[in-house]
Amino acid sequence: MSIVIRQAGILTTVQDLGRLGWQHLGVPVGGVMDAVAHRIANLCVGNAEHDATLECTFGAVAVQFEAPALVALAGREVTASLDGAAVPAWRPILVKPGALLAIHTGCRTTIAIAGGIHVPTVLDARSTLLRAGFGGFEGRALRRDDRLAIGEPAPLGGAIAARLDAENRVIGDFSAGWSLRPDYTASPTVRMIEGPEHRSLTAASRHALHDATFRLAPDSDRMGFRLTGQTLALSSELEMLSSGVTAGTIQLPPGGAPIVLMSDRQTTGGYPRLGDVITVDLPLLAQLRPGDAVRFQLTDLDAAHELYRRRERDLSSARRALYMRYAQELS
């Protein structure tokens, strides 16, 4: 079974949860920008969490299916249609052979397909690393007429599709992880933990970081989000050595406009580190469009870990609940 890209949009790539374990060789983690959207979409089609999906930036994407398939969309403000009829995000959708799925608008929309996008594994992952030109589909962004193979659906995906088919429905009557959906907005407040150089900010800049509204600059990309609206300053110049960075690290380059590191970030950086956006709030950031507003609120490590563990428990419960729902077919 394969799919054909009929319209590629401005940036559509094959992504999964990235390659954590090669950072000592300078390999960026990469992977989806919004891991929660990816995980829930995969769950809706019965996939494993790490199965590869498509990540579409904004909209104007169309995908044609050569065989029946089970599909789910996830992201912020997704509008989509199947052969012209509107379809919702966050639910399984049964697609007939020849059908055309179109994403009209969105931010970073995940398209999960039961069985996952079947591209070769490179360094333990299927995500596309654009800067190094490997992973995903030929190491590059998708183009019109690209044909991608889809893997064999898992038993859960098969059961979801079979029941939809038996009931003569297109759209599933459940949405996995309803309570897990990030509370996307065009002006989120994200929580952050102080970084080592936070204390070196001037008092005014410290105040500005936690009080002002920043806007996402147009030259932001999968590597980093550039913020405008306030420039920040350190009370003295610091001698910095390159050291590890992570998803959500807020760096302060010499110009004073902060950058938040995102999925395709480098593994190490030499700019002052003001703090790190907590993991559970990264999806809110990932789904911003240029011009959207963001504020930063301080929290602490214990609170961040509590939220992280709660989210992992909720995702596990959602998966268990889905298996229960299809226990009959799966037994």
Structure tokens at 34: 């919004």
Binding other proteins (rule: CB under 8 A), the pick from 131, 147, 199, 210 is 131
Q: Is 116 left (phi over 0), alpha (psi -120 to 50) or beta?
A: left
Q: Is 23 in the site for other proteins (CB under 8 A)?
A: yes
- Contact between 70 and 161 (Cβ < 8 Å): yes
Q: Build a one-symbol-per-residue string for 208-247: x at contacts with other proteins by CB under 8 A, - elsewhere.
A: ---------------------------------xxxxxxx
Tell the smallest beta-carbon distance from residue 145 to other proteins (Å).
Answer: 25
Q: Is 21 in the site for other proteins (CB under 8 A)?
A: yes
Q: Is 164 in the site for other proteins (CB under 8 A)?
A: no
Tell the smallest beta-carbon distance from residue 310 to other proteins (Å).
Answer: 10
Q: Is 20 in the site for other proteins (CB under 8 A)?
A: yes
Q: Pairing mode, if any, of strands 100-105 and 108-113?
A: unpaired
- Contact between 279 and 193 (Cβ < 8 Å): no
DSSP codes of every residue in 108-161: EEEEEETT-EE---BTTB---BTTTTBSTTTTS---TT-EEEE-PPPHHHHHHH
Window contacting other proteins (CB under 8 A); options: 39-47, 49-57, 126-134, 207-215: 126-134
Window contacting other proteins (CB under 8 A); options: 39-47, 55-63, 192-200, 230-238: 192-200
Neighbours of 234 (CB within 10 A): 17
Site residues (vs other proteins, CB under 8 A): 20-28, 122-123, 129, 131-135, 193, 195-196, 241-249, 266-268, 273, 276-279, 301, 304-305, 308-309, 312
